[in-house]
Structure 1
Amino acid sequence: MSDTHRPTTATPSALSALPATWHSENGTPPPRRLIAADDSLRAEAAYRLACEGTALLWQGAYPDALRLLHAMRRRAERPRPQPRSVSDPDPDSPAEAFRKHRRERARLARVLGMLLVPLDTDHRVTLDRAPDVREAGLAAYGPLLDNRIVSLRELLGVIGAHQWRVRGVEVPALGARIHPHYGVFSPVRGEYVDLVARAPLPPAALIHPTAHDLGTGTGVLAAVLARRGLRRVPVTDANPRALACARDNAHRLGLAGRIETAGTALYPPGTDRTALVVCNPPWLPGRPTSTLDQGVYDQDSRMLHGFLDGLADRLLPGGEGWLILSDLAERLGLRSRADLLGAVSGAGLRVIGRLDTVPRHPRATGTGRSDPLHRARADEVTSLWRLAPA
């Protein structure tokens, strides 16, 4: 949420002869080389071309494109030798394992993103036996003025995201479902929501039942606060899609009269001081490389520091700031506890309480043991830090 990735829509020379425009929601630049491909292309050759930077515009049947993508993934995930020099960082350190994991994920996304499919202005995939993706395409891309060429991998993400949006995610703390939009991080990890549901409200909230939710995402925390009796909850997010998602969920839950979107600035400009400011920033310092990465990575911890540095001036007497943060960054050696507490005190704040919880997601349990970061994820603790002016 610290940075907003803008879609890339451009016509590169490789596509200039085609009645279509390149489109990437993650801002991936257009391919420099492009060839037509169908089921006569073997998976090994397709994978080699993709690794070399040649994009494959599929012209066969849609199910065959899916089979080719899966075959390319199997090849991309083969173990590869990792050359090392004596100056390399410790390969067994959590930080180096994390960096290697991110590099491999970026390589996988780059290679698999080279298989492309055509999309017309009605959001139809113009291939034989293609599914009807018009509703999902419209929800993600909005109206299209011309035909597009998109990565099949991105399109599958669009389809999957729309299924989440239709079904919703059950949130026990709300006793209801939250419906995430495309490009908005889903609240599938409910333990941090439970912390907000059970933390004692600050004394100021008894007199002034107001709160701000910074980086609201789906609006799930704002909804929990509104259900707890806070009468006015302005929300902000750097991602306009998140603001639209929060509005949608507020209407679905009958909370539109309490939750209001206040723009893309971290703190709502021109608003009065409040009893409570809640912030659940991305938990890992790092540069986001995709739309969903914005919910995971906070480049240079900008959102974290922005929240802390502006908090004291936004609180009423007796008010609190709630920082929801995992210690995964500490366990991976990306940030120390001393760094965090130093940022808190440097912002003129003090810690007045903390609630902790442990993860329940599959990566932290036995089903995630193949994950190279499993040990850190299994030991992870998520905390709600209660902060007040020093």
Structure 2
Amino acid sequence: MLHWSEQGQDRHALWRSEGGMAPPRRVVLADDTLSADVAYRLACEGTALLWRGDFQNARHLLQALMRRVDRKPRKAARSPQAPATPTEAFHLHRQAQGRRARVLAMLLIPLDGDYAVPLRRAPDWREACAEAWGPAPGEPVVASLRELLGLVGAHEWRKKGVEIPALGAPPHNRIHPHYGVFSPVRGEYVDLVARAPLPPGCGLAFDIGVGTGVLSAVLARRGVRRVVATDQDPRALECAHDNLRRLALQGRVELLRADLFPPGQALLVVCNPPWLPARPSAPIERAVYDEDSGMLRGFLSGLREHLAPGGEGWLILSDLAEHLGLRSREELLGWIDAAGLRVLGRIDTRPRHAKAHDAGDALHAARSAEVTSLWRLAAA
């Protein structure tokens, strides 16, 4: 619950935070009379601003806060000092991201018990909120405006979908990501799965960490008769079920809630684990950050016993962690060897996303050298 005082009375509402942020301890009411400079100072101090003014003005204020939090200090602008190592650059980047998120999360929006926003010129976000959070609770809710905007953006992506050329021609080639499930916007890893040679006679495949279901769908469209796909996240399983139904592939793919492997063996076991060994700060980041390479090492150590004779394991992995100094190639090869596996081959591709070519990005040196690979593994 979030607690605050208003007109001499103690008030409270349900607190929503996808990132798991605790309810702010200090809350003040804010409206159109609040200047951006004062709002920024309060937000930096950890004071939350519960908005009571015009909704569109709240959006303008959030944009003003973004400009201030992204502004470089004058001293740093005069004498820029580059981080000593790529690893240091990564950690500084993560710290800056965390601070930015904390500051911007301080602008709060109230919602009624049916998820309606009780502010002037407020949009109707009830459908998007119910889609992400479930049925309306019947009592007031408070959430950060930034999170609400992300929720609505995810709602629009879910309606529109992401075109996946590897699934064939439109209109039957779209994946619709749900809120909290990582969208397959980096299509190069999907293309790797679409073009790697299937093991001869491959009638059964395992997809470890199904997410949106995109890789299961690609395998099914390539002719694999049955795919068993696993995930621990109920949102991911629901999202995959929705996408497979849209693609008329639900009869070919079985979804299981499991930690890594389903029971049994298959001729093909595919896994696209998070690529960076770091601690996620929000649920959506679990698709990007894998603390201590836990999922990667778990996949490698359990792969051999789940491979049918003559089977292959496909590990889809970027080498960005290597360029950032977070994991070495020698470590990866050592884990493969220790798991009783050997490398049959590797298919590489270069990333196509905008950050790979953005010289202003804090991690540009590492991103510009990044290679995404599909490692073909077999029992040693």
**TM-score normalised per structure 2:** 0.94
Q: What amino acid maps onto 2:213 in structure 1?
A: G
Match 1:265 to one of 259, 267, 270: 259
Separation in structure 2 between the aligned mates of residue 342 and residue 12 of structure 1, nearest angstrom: 52
1:337 aligns to what?
329
Q: What amino acid maps onto 1:198 in structure 2?
A: R
Q: What amino acid maps onto 2:28 in structure 1?
A: I
Deviation string, structure 1 residues 214-249 (Cα, Å, up to 9, x no partner)? 111101000000111112111112221111000000
**Structure 2 residues not aligned, in runs of 5+:** none
2:237 aligns to what?
243
1:378 aligns to what?
368
Q: Residue 155 in 1 paired to residue 148 in 2? A: yes
Quote the offset at 1:132 in angstroms: 1.1
2:34 aligns to what?
41
Quote the offset at 1:257 in angstroms: 0.3
- The answer to whether the 8 A contact 2:233-2:257 is kept is no
Q: What amino acid maps onto 2:244 in structure 1?
A: A
1:184 aligns to what?
181
- The answer to whether the 8 A contact 2:208-2:260 is kept is yes
Separation in structure 2 between the aligned mates of residue 164 and residue 264 of structure 1, nearest angstrom: 27
Q: What amino acid maps onto 1:356 in structure 2?
A: D
Quote the offset at 1:374 in angstroms: 1.3
Q: Which range is displaced more, 139-148 or 179-188?
A: 139-148
Q: What amino acid maps onto 1:275 in structure 2?
A: L
Q: Residue 91 in 1 paired to residue 83 in 2? A: yes
Q: What amino acid maps onto 1:345 in structure 2?
A: D
Separation in structure 1 between the aligned mates of residue 105 and residue 240 of structure 2, nearest angstrom: 30
Quote the offset at 1:11 in angstroms: 4.0
**TM-score normalised per structure 1:** 0.92
Separation in structure 2 between the aligned mates of residue 33 and residue 301 of structure 1, nearest angstrom: 37
2:15 aligns to what?
22
1:5 aligns to what?
none
Q: What amino acid maps onto 1:20 in structure 2?
A: A
Q: What amino acid maps onto 2:229 in structure 1?
A: V
- The answer to whether the 8 A contact 1:90-1:96 is kept is no
The 5 A counterparts of 1:355-370 are 355-365=347-357, 368-370=358-360
Separation in structure 1 between the aligned mates of residue 23 and residue 256 of structure 2, nearest angstrom: 34
The 5 A counterparts of 1:97-116 are 97-116=89-108
* Identical columns (%): 61
Match 2:66 to one of 67, 73, 96: 73
> Match of 1:20, SS?
strand
Separation in structure 1 between the aligned mates of residue 324 and residue 105 of structure 2, nearest angstrom: 28
**Structure 1 residues not aligned, in runs of 5+:** 1-9, 84-88
Match 1:316 to one of 286, 296, 308: 308
Q: What amino acid maps onto 1:195 in structure 2?
A: L
Q: 1:172 to 1:75 in 2, by over 3 A?
A: same
- The answer to whether the 8 A contact 1:14-1:31 is kept is no
> Match of 1:262, SS?
strand
> Match of 2:257, SS?
coil
Q: Which range is displaced more, 54-63 or 130-139?
A: 130-139
The higher-RCO structure (CA 8 Å, 6+ apart) is 1
1:211 aligns to what?
205
- The answer to whether the 8 A contact 1:354-1:384 is kept is yes
Separation in structure 1 between the aligned mates of residue 253 and residue 119 of structure 2, nearest angstrom: 43
Aligned residues: 369
2:339 aligns to what?
347
Separation in structure 1 between the aligned mates of residue 257 and residue 73 of structure 2, nearest angstrom: 45
Separation in structure 1 between the aligned mates of residue 55 and residue 157 of structure 2, nearest angstrom: 22
Separation in structure 2 between the aligned mates of residue 333 and residue 135 of structure 1, nearest angstrom: 43
Q: What amino acid maps onto 2:142 in structure 1?
A: I
2:54 aligns to what?
61
1:169 aligns to what?
162
Q: 1:311 to 1:241 in 2, by over 3 A?
A: same
Separation in structure 2 between the aligned mates of residue 172 and residue 379 of structure 1, nearest angstrom: 25
2:197 aligns to what?
200
1:292 aligns to what?
284
> Match of 1:31, SS?
coil
Deviation string, structure 1 residues 318-342 (Cα, Å, up to 9, x no partner)? 1111000000000011100000000
- The answer to whether the 8 A contact 1:14-1:33 is kept is no
- The answer to whether the 8 A contact 2:2-2:24 is kept is no
Q: What amino acid maps onto 2:87 in structure 1?
A: A
Q: What amino acid maps onto 2:206 in structure 1?
A: H
- The answer to whether the 8 A contact 1:133-1:159 is kept is yes
Q: What amino acid maps onto 1:379 in structure 2?
A: A
